């Protein structure tokens, strides 16, 4: 006779299904950063942008990546996409 499935067994099975689904997919996330709170062109508020980067977890992600964990986007592609932001924060020397 088959025993009743316990709650922990159901949870484990559900978690295994989720992990399998995550491994089989290639998710991408888009993070929008506003340069200022007034929606004005060519106006950058450093504190406002840094606050958004921290809130979105970008600075923590950079620390994790620097620790040697894998990255899904090739560095060349990342650099081309975010070169302007990179140059800007390097000039400030307070990105992290």
- pLDDT at residue 21 greater than cutoff 80: yes
Is residue 88 one of the residues assigned to a domain?
yes
Residue 37 pLDDT level (bands cut at 50, 70, 90): very high
Is residue 11 one of the residues assigned to a domain?
no
Query: What is the number of structural domains in the chain?
Result: 1
What pLDDT, on a 0 to 100 scale, did the predictor assign at position 70? 63
What pLDDT, on a 0 to 100 scale, did the predictor assign at position 71? 59
Give the model confidence (pLDDT) of 59-73 as tens digits: 888 888 788 776 567
**Which residue has better confidence, 44 or 89?**
44
Is residue 81 one of the residues assigned to a domain?
yes
Is residue 54 one of the residues assigned to a domain?
yes
User: Torsions phi, psi of 91, nearest 5?
Assistant: -65, -30
What pLDDT, on a 0 to 100 scale, did the predictor assign at position 2? 62
- Within 13 Å, how many C-alpha atoms sit on residue 14's CB side? 7
- pLDDT at residue 15 greater than cutoff 60: yes
The residue to which tokens 């307070």 are assigned: 94
If you average pLDDT over residues 23-30, what whole number do you get?
76
pTM for this entry? 0.40
Answer yes or no: are the C-beta atoms of 53 and 86 closer than 8 Å. Answer: no
Is residue 33 one of the residues assigned to a domain?
yes
- pLDDT at residue 29 greater than cutoff 80: no
């Amino acid at each position: 006779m088959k025993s009743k499935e316990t709650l922990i067994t159901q949870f484990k099975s559900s978690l295994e299904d989720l992990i399998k689904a995550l491994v089989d997919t290639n998710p991408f996330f888009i993070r929008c950063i506003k340069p200022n709170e007034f929606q004005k062109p060519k106006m950058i508020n450093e504190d406002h942008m840094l606050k958004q980067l921290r809130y979105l977890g970008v600075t923590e992600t950079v620390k994790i990546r620097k620790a040697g964990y894998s990255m899904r986007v090739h560095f060349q592609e990342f650099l081309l996409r975010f070169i302007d932001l990179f140059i800007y924060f390097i000039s400030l020397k307070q990105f992290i």
